[in-house]
Amino acid sequence: MAPATILCVGMAGSGKTTFVQRLNSHLHAKKQAPYVINLDPAVLKVPFGCNIDIRDSVKYKKVMENYNLGPNGAIVTSLNLFSTKIDQVISLVEKKSDRFKHCIVDTPGQIECFIWSASGAIITEAFASTFPTIIAYIIDTPRSSSPTTFISNMLYACSILYKTKLPMIVVFNKTDVRDSKFATEWMTDFEAFQDALRSNSELNDETSNGSGYMASLVNSMSLMLEEFYSTLDVVGCSAYTGAGFDEFLDAVDAKVEEYNNFYQKERERIIKEKEEKEKQNKQKQLTHLMKDLGLGKKEPVDTISDAEDDGEEEYEHGLVEPDINEPQREYTFAEDRNGEVTEENKDVHGVYQRAFEQGSKTAKSDVAENIAKYIRQQR
């Protein structure tokens, strides 16, 4: 059975690395040691043992110096460099897949550097094409206590779900600071969320939503997200105390089954459609190329032999009768037609013809002598 791959993503400061560390120790305590991969090139110290670490392949500070990049640009470039070897990473995981049930992947703190970059898509697709892959979206629970911040996190989760097309578990982290029951209630009870929004709008501090446009926008978005909530599994965890990780692993097992039953078939269909489109595009390009080179099929044309086979008298000798409407040709200089071959100048034309056929310098000199001789005789 293929191991479940858990891609841990989330906003900066949501506690992804601490979550991975706690999940790693929790699985070790259950005698189910996971395979751990670190994809954050900028982290100084990792609080867990890594089987594969991007820092062993790419030096973050050297990338900044060599390419004159800032922090985020260097992270994206480091991921780009690492993604060129993702096939080797997948093969390493496959070789040891019989020894573990879970593969945990920690991603960079700057979520956009991974989710919205080409390298992030390559890495995600590589894992999802080989193993059952789940997105664990980590949320900072205390910072999501405001309805507007909560909706912002949910919108980001929605965009990630439709971007990756993979099963998702929403993890409300730091429940030791603030319980996540309020978030679960907001996701299941629209009236409770509206009450919270209304009460929050009456506050006068910096967490207030105000009224008017913002309240109307948040209300509209919460209505739109009701269907999205139904596809999610929500778990409250504390990376500090370890609470809620058994529930998280149960949710992972459920999502693996969901992946095998629905997502895998959908992904296979998408891949098949993509291959079919590429095949059609290649055929279309080949057809255009054949046409440009004149190698394509041509329409049949009538030939003189075809006309003869028709038995029509006017084409009996392969000659076409002149058009009766064709205008009579007139000569500009009717009395001085020196360009034509006549009885008087046919000898001169014969000399030119023989010189042309011989094609040698000697013949050309003979032509000159014969022309001069002819001219003297005429005088």
> What letter does residue 144 receive in the DSSP assignment?
G
The confidence band for 245, taking pLDDT boundaries of 50, 70 and 90, is: very high
SS3 220: helix
The confidence band for 362, taking pLDDT boundaries of 50, 70 and 90, is: low
> What letter does residue 215 receive in the DSSP assignment?
H
Q: What pLDDT score does 242 carry?
A: 92
pTM: 0.69
SS3 377: helix
The whole-number average pLDDT for the span 244-268 is: 88
Q: Go through the chain and tell me how many residues it has.
A: 379
Distance, in Å, from the CA atom of 193 to the CA atom of 229, rounded to the nearest integer, reads 13
Name residue, tokens 């096939």. 87
Q: What pLDDT score does 342 carry?
A: 55
SS3 171: strand
Question: Mapped to the 3 state alphabet, what secondary structure does 105-134 carry?
Answer: EECCCCHHHHHCCHHHHHHHHHHHCCCCEE
List, in order, residues 6 or more apart from 238 with CB less than 8 Å away: 173, 174, 175, 176, 244
The whole-number average pLDDT for the span 113-122 is: 91
- How many CB atoms neighbour CB 169 within 10 A? 20
The whole-number average pLDDT for the span 261-282 is: 81
Q: Supply 231's token pair.
A: 């596809």
Name which residue leads in pLDDT, 311 or 235. 235
Given a cut of 80, whether residue 368 has pLDDT beyond it is no
Q: Supply 172's token pair.
A: 């409300």
Class of the 4-204+218-269 domain? alpha beta
List, in order, residues 6 or more apart from 255 with CB less than 8 Å away: 4, 132, 134, 167, 168, 169, 233
SS3 310: coil
CB 86 within 8 A of CB 126: yes
Distance, in Å, from the CA atom of 371 to the CA atom of 281, rounded to the nearest integer, reads 67
Closest CA to 179 of 241, 116, 137: 241
The confidence band for 226, taking pLDDT boundaries of 50, 70 and 90, is: confident
The set of long-range contacts for 208-215, using a CB threshold of 8 Å and a minimum separation of 24, is: 209/146, 209/147, 209/148, 214/148
Q: In this predicted model, what pLDDT tens digit does every residue of 310-355 receive, in sequence order?
A: 544 444 444 555 555 555 545 444 444 445 555 555 565 565 566 5
Strands ordered across the beta sheet of 133-140: 52-53, 35-38, 102-106, 4-10, 133-140, 168-173, 233-236
Closest CA to 165 of 84, 248, 270: 270
Distance, in Å, from the CA atom of 330 to the CA atom of 332, rounded to the nearest integer, reads 7
Closest CA to 139 of 153, 155, 149: 153
Please report, for the chain, the start and end positions of each structural domain, with discontinuous segments joined by +. Answer: 4-204+218-269
> What letter does residue 262 receive in the DSSP assignment?
I
Name residue, tokens 């000697």. 362
